[in-house]
Amino acid sequence: MKKSVITIAVAATVGLGTIFGAAPLKIEAESISKLKGEQNKIQEKRSDLKSGINQANDKISDLQNQQADVKSEMKRIDFAIGDTTTKINEKTAKIEETKAEVAKLQEETKVIKERIEKRNVLLKDRARSYQETGGMVNYLDVLMGSTSFSDFIDRANAVATIMQADQDILKQHEADKKELESKQAQVETDLASLEKMLADLEKMNQQLSAQKAEKDKLLGALKNQEAEEHEHIMDLTEEEQLLAAQDAAIQKAIKMEQEAQARAAAEAAKAAKNSQASGGGGASTTIPNNSSGYWTQPAVGRLSSGFGGRGDGNHYGVDIANATRVPIVAAADGVVIKSYSSTSYGECIFISHSINGQVYTTVYAHMSSRIAGNGAVVKKGQQIGVMGNTGASEGQHLHFELHKGPWTQDKRYAIDPASLVPLPGR
């Protein structure tokens, strides 16, 4: 009974295709042009990403030029620091020398002062002895004792000479003392000026060191900026690679679309058969029942977390949990655009789907193993992996995302899978 119904349904569909032969062709052309539109959008996005990468590369070379400038400025500062340090050492040595000279002059002045002191004492003693013996009378005695006028002159001259000599020695000492004092004053002035120069040089050296520290800080900041740009390029490159894979997947989808359209009637019949088979209760407990529409449930389990349903509101998919390591299946026909191991997604597969010209992307994360590689063409309900707890996951579950359009870093095309895909209950 059932068998005959299917036969009739297949016959009817095939018949329609035959009767309205032009109609499927029109549908085909329409969906292919939609796919091409999607492909154009992806290619535009790719060229945006490529120009973003170029801009980042320009920024990097600009940052590298700035770093080279800063480095040459730092070299100049280093040279100036070396120069002032040499001068500081020279001035310090000169100051030591001058201080020694001051000490020497002080010593010499002290000696002269002592001599003057002694001479003064001597002269006072002599003056006192003149007074005690009658002073000038004594000289007069000398003079009066002269035997002739010529003798008198000689004696008078001798007295004057002795007195003059005493005066001259004293004057010479005073002159020496004055000269020494003026020399000392000059050297002390020199010392003060040297000390000022040294202070100026030390200040200059401090300023140069501060400048160097500032340049060092600037260099660090430029290096950080460059590292950020490199990271940015890595992100953009990764996204671009994903879009390139998606581009290729759509290209494949365009080719497949014709076959798919041609087989549309047969596919519909098969879907009906599957639907009846699942309705018959003979379904496996680990493989989800293959639904009749474009979409099927990706894994057996319970819905442990809904779309956007976390505290932070940033859950871009749904979680299906199961204590058993159940199979994960493709939610719809498509092409695997990425099959890889990620630190966050764990063992993960991305599938690109083209449904009536609309591109969808599904993501299956945290699997324990993957059994579909890059570029693999998969059918709805076909196993692609096994549920697991890999990557940033707490507890065994499937994290499933649905994007209406391509997958992007910001997940701006993510939609609630519940709107299209059959999901288990909580």
Nearer to Zn ion, 91 or 370 (CB): 370
Distance between CA atoms of 422 and 294, rounded to whole angstroms? 10
How many residues comprise the chain? 426
Quote the least distance from Cβ 358 to Zn ion, whole Å: 24
Quote the least distance from Cβ 334 to Zn ion, whole Å: 20
Quote the least distance from Cβ 423 to Zn ion, whole Å: 13
Strand bridging mode 318-321 / 327-329: unpaired
Task: Tell me the H-state helices in 133-148.
Answer: 136-144
Query: Which run of H or E residues covers position 335?
Result: strand 334-342
Quote the least distance from Cβ 318 to Zn ion, whole Å: 7
Quote the least distance from Cβ 319 to Zn ion, whole Å: 4
Quote the least distance from Cβ 404 to Zn ion, whole Å: 18
Residues contacting residue 171 through CB under 8 Å, at least 6 positions apart? none
Nearer to Zn ion, 357 or 388 (CB): 388
Phi, psi of 294 (to 5 degrees): -75, -25
Nearer to Zn ion, 257 or 319 (CB): 319
Nearer to Zn ion, 139 or 316 (CB): 316
Distance between CA atoms of 193 and 186, rounded to whole angstroms? 11
Nearer to Zn ion, 38 or 319 (CB): 319
Quote the least distance from Cβ 295 to Zn ion, whole Å: 18
Q: How many CA within 13 A on the CB side of residue 416? A: 10
Nearer to Zn ion, 353 or 399 (CB): 399
Quote the least distance from Cβ 413 to Zn ion, whole Å: 17
Nearer to Zn ion, 240 or 319 (CB): 319
DSSP readout, 25-80? HHHHHHHHHHHHHHHHHHHHHHHHHHHHHHHHHHHHHHHHHHHHHHHHHHHHHHHH
Enumerate binding residues for Zn ion (CB under 5 A). Answer: 319, 399
Residue nearest to Zn ion (CB): 399
Q: How far is CA 29 from CA 21, 23, 33, 305, in A?
A: 13, 10, 6, 40
Nearer to Zn ion, 317 or 357 (CB): 317
The residue whose two tokens read 């009378």 is 137
- Coil, strand or helix: which one is 88? helix
Q: Which class for 177: exposed (0-12), middle (13-18), buried (19 or more C-beta within 10 A)? A: middle
